[in-house]
Amino acid sequence: MLSRLQDRLRSYRDNPDPLAVLANTVALVIAGNQPFYPLYLHAIVGQSAWPAWLTLITMPLFAAVPAVSRR
């Protein structure tokens, strides 16, 4: 199951342009780690870290980078 997910992510990331592959990889790493950033700040700082939750708004944009780079 994990290898199928990895294969699907790899095929979503792939592009004929090597720089686009690099940009897609970075965007997918950011999109994958972005939900943990507000949790980390909330655990360290507490309630005053509420603006960090606004970063989740940009997660779909990072996840869409590989689809946009194919055009």
Query: What are the domain boundaries of the chain?
Result: 13-69
Residues 4-22 pLDDT 10s? 989 998 999 999 999 999 9
Average pLDDT, the chain: 92
Q: What are phi and psi of 70, to 5 degrees?
A: -80, -20
Could you give the CA distance from residue 36 to residue 42 in angstroms, rounded to a whole number? 10
Residues 21-56 pLDDT 10s? 999 999 999 999 998 999 999 999 999 989 999 989
Q: What is the pLDDT of residue 44?
A: 94
pLDDT at 71 over 90: no
